[in-house]
Chains A and B, each alone.
Chain A
Amino acid sequence: KAGVTQTPRYLIKTRGQQVTLSCSPISGHRSVSWYQQTPGQGLQFLFEYFSETQRNKGNFPGRFSGRQFSNSRSEMNVSTLELGDSALYLCASSTGDRNTGELFFGEGSRLTVL
């Protein structure tokens, strides 16, 4: 069974630009979560999608958005990039049970904002 696939793995943007990151979950998984990892803040929850609906959202500004498609693939978008958005963005998939069980993470997309 293929794992969680994130693209692109690395990208460099400049302040003010926008970026779209993609995540393909494990086949059969309907839940996709996104996390931001930085040295200063650690792992921070962004949002979670299940069957194309956002079920949970972390404390990030509205510049951070996401969506999920009918095939469970998910994208997240960051608009008007700031230097502080430089981070490793991790996507995780799961079955989506009520209580959060094991999450399967992708390798991440490392975003550098110049």
Chain B
Amino acid sequence: SQQGEEDPQALSIQEGENATMNCSYKTSINNLQWYRQNSGRGLVHLILIRSNEREKHSGRLRVTLDTSKKSSSLLITASRAADTASYFCATDASRGSTLGRLYFGRGTQLTVWP
């Protein structure tokens, strides 16, 4: 399976702290994406990093990608209560039929306490 795995499964922090989530995957990829999901809702795309990129920033988000270790991390700086959600990494596959298909991890449940 190419499914990514996030670590930790759950993370609880105070507002203002930074939150770091990690993702590992198994096979070669074209890109890796991070999505956010509020309870029972649809997924919202946060950021995409291509396999030839090592780091990417978007607002309070910082994503790193290490293709040699097949891992990525998502850092949310200065967390807010509104950041409380599940965060998923998703990969495509660099070989075979990948059209429209992303492989999702099980997600990290982030809780930010006021």
Contacts and interface: CB of A to CB of B under 8 A. Distances in A.
Decide if the interface of chain A is mainly helix, strand, loop or mixed.
Answer: strand
A99 B102 contact: no
B12 interface: no
A108 B42 contact: yes
Given A43-B88, A99-B92, A101-B31, A48 B45 contact: no
B107 A55 contact: no
Interface string A19-63: 000000000000111010000001101001110000110100000
Given A42-B105, A102-B33, A56 B98 contact: yes
Size bracket of the A interface: 20 to 34
B43 A56 contact: no
A100 interface: yes
A43 B97 CA distance: 18
Interface residues of B, number: 25
Given A43-B88, A99-B31, A102-B33, A107 B41 contact: yes
A94 interface: yes
B102 A45 contact: yes
B82 interface: no
Given A102-B48, A103-B45, A31 B99 contact: yes
A99 B104 contact: no
A99 B28 CA distance: 13
B40 interface: yes
Contact of B42 (A32, A50, A105): A105
A110 B100 contact: no
Given A42-B105, A42-B106, A43-B88, A100 B100 contact: yes
Contact of B99 (A4, A92, A96, A107): A96
Interface in B73-95: 88, 92
A113 B5 CA distance: 29
B87 to A, nearest CB: 13
Contacts of B40: 88, 108, 110
